Structure formats: C-alpha cells, structure tokens
Chain A
Amino acid sequence: MTLKSENSKRVALMVTCMVDQVMPEIGVATVKLLRRAGYRVEFPADQTCCGQPFFNSGFREQAAALVRRTIEIFGDCPAVVLPGGSCTAMIRLEYPHLVEAWPDWHERALQMAAKTFELSEFLVHHAQWQPKAAAGAPRVTYHDSCHMNRLLHLKSEPRTLLKAAGCTIAEMDESDRCCGFGGVFSIRMPVVSNAMTAEKLRRASATGADLLVASDPGCLMQMRGLLAGSEGRAEHLAVVLEELTR
C-alpha cells in the first residue's frame, strides 16, 4: 500500500439535485462506498445543482451563474465525486467554456474539471477499490448512459465493479442506446421520450436479468417512470454495490 497524504484521502460528495430530492438513498450508498474505499467524505451543504438543465435548454446565462456558484462551493475540496456521469460531464467538459469570458473563473473551472470524478471512475482509478465477491449476487444488465459513455468514455468501470462484487452481467442489445431522458427533453417531447424508454426497457427485459443497473440518476428516474407497476426493477450502481459489499 502506498502512503497517501492526508489530503488525498478526503473527498467531497456532490450529490446532484435529483439524488438530493428524489433518490437520497443513492447519496447515502455513495457515502458508504467512499468510506469503505478508505475516504473521509465531506458534504458542502450549500450545494444545489450543477446547472446542466439550464445549459441544455439554452439558458446559458442562468447556467453560468450556477457554474460559478458550484465552483465557489467546491473550490477548496481536494476531489469531488458525483454518483452520475451526466453532471460529471457537465463539470468536466462544459464548465470551462461557460465561464470562458472571465479569465479567473475560467482558470478555476479548469481546476474544478480536473478534480471532479464520476463514482465508478473514482473507485476504480483513484481509490483502486476492489469489492469482494458476494454470494448470491444478482444477474444484472447494465445501461450505458449517454454522457458517461460517449463523453466520459466510462464503459468498463461500472462493469468491473459489478463483476468484482459477484454480479453476472447479461448484456442487452445496444446497451448504449439512449433511455429517452435527455433532461427537459423528457417533458418537452414526452411521447417521443417515452417511446424511446420503452425501446430501452424491451432490450433490457429481453436479457432476463434480475435487475437493470444504471449509473445516472436521470436515466434511472426515467426508466422507473415506465417500469412502475411492472415486474422490472432498475437500481443505481451505488445502491447495488453498497448492498453487496456490506
């Protein structure tokens, strides 16, 4: 084991607004996993939203205000971890150019981008945490969320963790097909969005897996919205891993 400085074992959780308000158990599971991986977790209480909803609907001025706010709140943290690929992609790829007009903010945005990680990425590459295989782990199918897969290129990390924890992965056809969420798209074009979700769920259920696992709260909320009342279950990676590594 390498000796790490005091700082490198501290990490800040950015829980995301959706997890905060709708699925807090994902946040709790994330905290527990980070602790199991040997980190002290901080939670800057002023945090709200990364600004992505506004950026995606074209309201860049409003987004930029939330960008600066978030940078301010997490400025002193050595590393920031999020239980979601989409918000991570927002911070890593969009923050710098959204505040490009202000050189000092731009510099801070670049720093923030460099120290912000999606949960599975952090656990695999930085914490180098290896869960132990649990007996009776479920057979799962994994949904590659668009921003996590195409923008952050995190495809193997969640699978590595699930397999290490004992899960069998039954890959669905086109695991990287969009779940239909797309933020405000899901409200602006609900019929299209729901038809896309149905396509996704058809492919997932064809695998016969016990559980559909996703790393993005947005996708999870979307897919659960159409799963309600059916047999199918969708769960966040953090919750699945946390249960298997107790």
Chain B
Amino acid sequence: MSHVTFREFRSGAAQAIANPHLQQALDGATLKFRTDRQSRLAEIPDPDALRDQLKAIRSATLAHLAEHLETFERQAQAAGAQVHWARDAEEANRLVIDIVRQHGAHMAVKTKSMATEEIHLNPALKAARITSVETDLGEWIIQLAGEPPAHIVVPALHKTRAQVAELFTREVNRPLDPENIPALTTEARRVLREKFLAAGIGITGANIGVAETGSIVLVTNEGNGRMVTGAPPVHIAVMGIEKVCPTWDDAAVWLSLLARSSTGQPLSVYTTAITGPAHPDDPDGPREVHIILLDNGRSRLVGTQYEEVLQCIRCGACLNACPVYQEVGGHTYGNPYSGPIGSVLVPLLFGLKENEALPHASSLCGACLEVCPVRIDLPRMLLALRAEEATTKVIPWPERLIEMAAARLLGHRRLFGLLTDIGRVFQIPFVRGRSLRVPRRLNPAGARNLPSLSKRSFHAMWEDIKSEDS
C-alpha cells in the first residue's frame, strides 16, 4: 500500500534534488514536452475551444457514468468481447490471473498501462508464478530495474543510457555499449520480439473506451500495442471506469488533445482501436478479448467536490509543467501517479492519512491548471484536501496549535503589534543586514535566509507620512 508521510516526501525530494543526473533528465525531458506541447497546440485553429469541448464531453459523461458504462458493456459484448467488473485492485488482479490460468498460459506480454501500475498487476502475476513482460521500452527498462514509473507517460525518464546499457547487459548476459543507442534498441527489439511470439496472453490498459461500439482505443509510439493485441491468442484490457467516452466523435476530440498535451505530437505514432476479438476469417488477432472495468475508488468520487479529477486523460502535461515535479521527480510521490494529478488522485483513491504529504507537494502556482487539456482545477482540490487534513487532524497538533494561535493573534491588531515589537527587540543579536542569521539546522527555511522584522512596522511609519497627503 502506498504511503507518503511528510518525512518520506522530504527525504525523497532531498535525494532527488541532490542527484545531478536526475535533475538533468528532469529538466531536459519536461522542457522538451512543455515546448512541444505549446507548438503542437499552436498548430490547431482554436486549441482553447477544443479544450472547452473536451471538458464539456468529460463532465457530461461523468454525469451519466453508469449509463455510458452499461452501453459500453452491451456493445463490447455484442462485438464478442467479455466484460468484467472489478471493484478494487484485488478483484482486478484475480480476474486477470484466472483468465491466464484458464488458458494454461505462463507468460503475458504487456503494454504500458497506468491502470495496471495502479493495481500492482506485475507483482500479483509474479506471485501467481506467471511471467509478465513489459514491452514498452521505457516500461521494460524500469521493470528490469524493479522500479515504479517516474512519470505517467515516460516511465524511465530518470534512467541514463549507461544505466539502461547495464540493465540490458544483465538481461542478455552480453556486454552492450552504452554509447550505441541503436544497438541497445535493436537488442530490446530482438528480445521482446521473442516474447511477443511466445506469450499466451497480451495485457493492455485502455486510453479510451468508446461506448457506442464497445471499442477500446490504445495510444502507443512503438507499435508494441499492436503486437500485444495481435500476436497472443488472448487479450486482456484493464480500463478505469472513468475512461469511457460516449461516441467516436467525442473520442476524436479526446485524441486530438491527448498526444498534443502529452508528448507534443499531433497524434501518437500508433492509435489502435479494438472492437471485440478477431473474426474467423482474420489472418491473426486474439480469439478472446476480455475487458476489465476497474473501479478501485473511482465511483466513490462521483458527485463529490472531487469528481472533476475523474476527467483526467493521463496526458502528463501537469507533471511537465509543475515546478515541484521538475525538482523532485516521480519516485518522491511514492505512487505510480506522480506530479500534481498524483497529489490529488492518490489521496483520494488510496487514503489521505496514508499520503498526507501529497496535498502539500505544491506551491499552488497553478501551472497544472493552465496546461490541463481538460482544465481540471487541481489547485482547488489540493486546497480542499488540505482543509480535510486540518479538520480530520491529520496535521500534527504542534502545527495545528501554531496555525490557530497565529490566526487568533492576527485577529487582534494591538496584540499583534505588541508581539512583533517585542520580536524586534529579541531579534537584534541575530540580524545581519535585513536577514536573520540562524544556525542552518535551526532554520526552518533551510539554505534560504529568513527576513528580519524591519526596524519599524508600516503601521509605525504611517504616523509620519499620513499628514503628507496634499
């Protein structure tokens, strides 16, 4: 279970900030995505109107979520797919394992999927003695490293090519040159090609589920999605229930913003739509398609002040825009979902108390809201989560006491004036210029100088200047 206390977040952040490789990777990747996103959006006539349209589609869909899901189920079944409902991670994992076992399979190939990261499917498969192989290059790298994704879209963002070469070398038992990137990718391609052909099961997520035809849409850049859903005889898709979309017209709006916001591409290299299993006369394709509709805490949010978070299309634009994410990286968030969306989604899905630090991992600068293709007001929800922490006493008592005392004090002008004037006297031995010289380990601001109180308050100075009014 995920767990991010203040202490854990702070220490993870400090490690990330002290790691120059990681800082370079974060700066480079997020800057590229920010810039590319802007240029790709600038290419379309009215990107803001398109965002409004997607917002309208997403909120209207959530307002009738159950109906759209039922339509999706009916249409998917009509196309020959089998639809399963999973209340939580455990149910979803059990469904996957049962399907794999029914087919006597021992190996599954996977595409990158946040839903399967969320339910920790790989460890569950491993425990059931089923081998699962990630086939997205980035996801394979972190699988070999035994790490969670560092970014919603680019999971191995934090890995240098030297580290990748080391991981691949270990996997293929043969030294590989870190300077020769084409050779590294060729090696990955060779190894993964064997897995595609040997696997009995293909597992994917779903970027969109189109209700009117019961189709799922997969968005990939490496073509591995097509291999995973084409080569093995059985395809299992795990889809969060909020990913449903009523019509293909709606899906077109969604798709026109997804890759642009995410990787700054007009469309991803492959956009795959899957409607049921292969027909008898198709040369290939899965004989069985299973779609697992995953709730895992989502339906609980419908109708609450947090419903808006379900509009997320997992593009990762908020991560790339977030100045906090850019410093601390994905792992500091302690969950597969990182960045601003993770800071809201994780406490809501997996518990606020367990993830107490996440709502505070933000300066509330609003960059996330500015870039979100669905205009999800993440700052508003971060504030609401903080308010829940304050009222449910998640915040430790010394801090609550300070907050309450400070608010009280600021309610009494004369007392506030008196105490700050006393402070002016007591600070004298510590004042250097306009800063307070405090020993570093006692300084709550760390390496930053705290300001001293000015010699006189504005209130005191006003007495001198008020009569100057002409």
Interface residues of A (CB under 8 A from B): 15, 17, 19-25, 27-28, 31, 35, 40-41, 43, 45-49, 51, 53-60, 62-63, 65-66, 69, 146-147, 150-151, 176-178, 180-183, 185-197, 199, 221-222, 224-226, 228
Contacts and interface: CB of A to CB of B under 8 A. Distances in A.
B89 to A, nearest CB: 29
Contacts of B404: 59, 62
A111 B325 CA distance: 38
B448 A222 contact: yes
Interface stretch (B55-63, B194-202, B449-457): B449-457
A53 B465 CA distance: 29
A187 B444 contact: yes
A97 B197 CA distance: 59
Name the 10 nearest CB pairs between A and B, nearest first.
A182-B363, A58-B386, A62-B407, A190-B446, A58-B390, A178-B365, A225-B448, A24-B458, A146-B365, A27-B458
Given A48-B416, A49-B410, A185-B363, A191 B469 contact: no
B68 to A, nearest CB: 31
Interface stretch (B10-18, B109-117, B171-179): B10-18
B387 interface: yes
A150 B369 contact: yes
Interface residues on B, range: 35 or more
Q: By DSSP majority rule, is chain B's interface helix, strand, loop, or mixed?
A: helix
Contacts of B324: 189, 192, 196
A47 B413 contact: yes
A35 B413 CA distance: 26
B47 interface: no
A214 B62 CA distance: 41
A23 B448 CA distance: 17
| Most B CB within 10 A of own CB, among A21, A41, A66, A185 | A21
Q: Most chain-B CB neighbours within 10 Å: which of A24, A60, A150?
A: A24
B386 A56 contact: yes
Contact of B457 (A21, A59, A222, A224): A21
B95 interface: no
B362 interface: yes
B260 to A, nearest CB: 20
Contacts of A59: 387, 390, 400, 403-404, 407
Nearest to A69: B411
B445 A196 contact: no
B17 A57 contact: no
B195 to A, nearest CB: 40
B388 interface: yes
Contacts of A176: 367
B193 interface: no
A19 B457 CA distance: 8
Interface string B158-171: 00000000000000
B363 A48 contact: no
Given A35-B469, A58-B386, A182 B407 contact: no
Given A27-B461, A28-B458, A178-B365, A21 B390 contact: no
Contacts of B444: 187, 190
Interface string B391-422: 10001000010011011101101001000100
Interface in B329-361: 359-361
B390 A60 contact: yes
Given A28-B465, A58-B383, A199-B323, A189 B10 contact: yes
A182 B410 contact: no
B327 interface: yes
Given A48-B411, A58-B387, 16 more contacts: A19-B458, A35-B468, A35-B469, A48-B416, A55-B383, A62-B403, A146-B367, A151-B366, A181-B363, A182-B362, A183-B364, A191-B446, A197-B448, A221-B451, A224-B451, A225-B448
B433 interface: yes
A196 B363 contact: yes
Given A48-B411, A190-B445, A192-B17, A150 B323 contact: no
Chain A CB count within 10 A is highest, among B327, B364, B448, B469, for B448
B148 to A, nearest CB: 20
13 contacts: A21-B420, A27-B462, A31-B465, A45-B459, A48-B416, A53-B406, A59-B407, A182-B364, A185-B363, A190-B447, A191-B17, A225-B448, A225-B449
A40 B468 CA distance: 10
